[in-house]
Chain A
Amino acid sequence: MPNSQTDKKTLAIMVLSSPHASAHAQTALAYCQSVLDAGHQIYRIFFYHEAAYLGNTANCAPQDEINLSDRWQQLIQKYDIDSVVCIASGLKRGMLDTTEAKRYEKTTASLSPCTELSGLGQWIDAVNQTDQHIIFGN
């Protein structure tokens, strides 16, 4: 909700892009870091569409490249941000938590424990509750 005391805003962030197909996911990460540095608040980050891959814990980047999934997870952990990987986007791209891995009889979970699988209601709630929503990458 708008805060009349200061000019600080609450934001809902949606990311749509996978880590490697474009620069969008990296731009979004830099943006989130900047708004937090400026004292704004991120109410929730919602990973939708190809951005479900940003919740992956299994990817291994070469040593001289950044691991964007890890960077997102570090940001989420450091600032204790509420983050959601859309369950529909996530399941069809193999992003499973332990419950879903068991349900679909897969050998392992792939989703970072920093984030959770949930539905689009979490995004709509975030848009309704914040001053501004910003969508990266389409």
Chain B
Amino acid sequence: MKYLYLLRQAPYQSSLAREALDMVLATAAFDQHVQLLFINDGVFQLQKGQQADLLQQKNIEKTLQAFALYDINDVYCCSHSLQLRGLTTDNIDASAQVIDQAQCQALIQQADKVISL
């Protein structure tokens, strides 16, 4: 099955961003094909230079680095969501491919299962 996760949560607002990533890794561990789209406030998860220790939280960037180990290579970021939040491709992790809204739609259409968190 081809899973697409729409990751919409800001990284440290609640534990849901982290728990959504746990679900992503579990899905990959169960041998499903996993694609990720960071969208809306979820784009903040991709920001470089997060200092989560100041919030006494685990750094979400470390989880992002684990994607490759789980064979998750299709990581996308919505350009419109970035733009609305004053971010550019320079601000986010280089492993994410920035795509426009038409490409986001195409991505959603080709997935067997779409999980929006």
Q: A124-B27, A124-B30 are in contact. Are A49 and B113 (CB under 8 A)?
A: no
Spot the interface stretch: B16-24, B46-54, B56-64, B96-104.
Answer: B16-24
Whether the Cβ atoms of B22 and A120 lie closer than 8 Å is: yes
Bound together, the chains give a CA A97 to CA B3 distance in angstroms of 32
- Residue B88 at the A interface, CB < 8 A? no
Bound together, the chains give a CA A115 to CA B117 distance in angstroms of 23
Whether the Cβ atoms of B115 and A135 lie closer than 8 Å is: yes
B residues less than 8 Å from A120 (CB atoms)? 22-23, 26-27
- Residue A9 at the B interface, CB < 8 A? no
Bound together, the chains give a CA A104 to CA B30 distance in angstroms of 28
- Residue A48 at the B interface, CB < 8 A? yes
A41 to chain B, nearest CB (A): 18
A18 to chain B, nearest CB (A): 11
Whether the Cβ atoms of B26 and A49 lie closer than 8 Å is: no
A residues less than 8 Å from B117 (CB atoms)? 16, 135, 138
User: How many A-B pairs with Cβ below 8 Å?
Assistant: 39
Bound together, the chains give a CA A135 to CA B20 distance in angstroms of 12
Whether the Cβ atoms of A138 and B9 lie closer than 8 Å is: yes
Bound together, the chains give a CA A48 to CA B19 distance in angstroms of 9
B23 to chain A, nearest CB (A): 6
* CB 8 Å contact bits of A119-131 with B (1 = contact, 0 = none): 1110110011000
- Residue B109 at the A interface, CB < 8 A? no
B48 to chain A, nearest CB (A): 26
CB < 8 Å neighbour of B30 from A48, A49, A121, A133: A121
B residues less than 8 Å from A135 (CB atoms)? 115-117
Q: Which residues of A contact B (CB under 8 A)?
A: 16, 48-49, 88-89, 119-121, 123-124, 127-128, 133, 135, 138
Q: Which residues of B contact A (CB under 8 A)?
A: 1, 3, 8-9, 15-16, 19, 22-23, 26-27, 30, 32, 113, 115-117
Please name the 8 residue pairs, one residue from A and one from B, whose CB atoms are nearest each other, closest first.
Answer: A120-B26, A124-B30, A49-B19, A127-B113, A124-B27, A49-B16, A128-B1, A120-B23
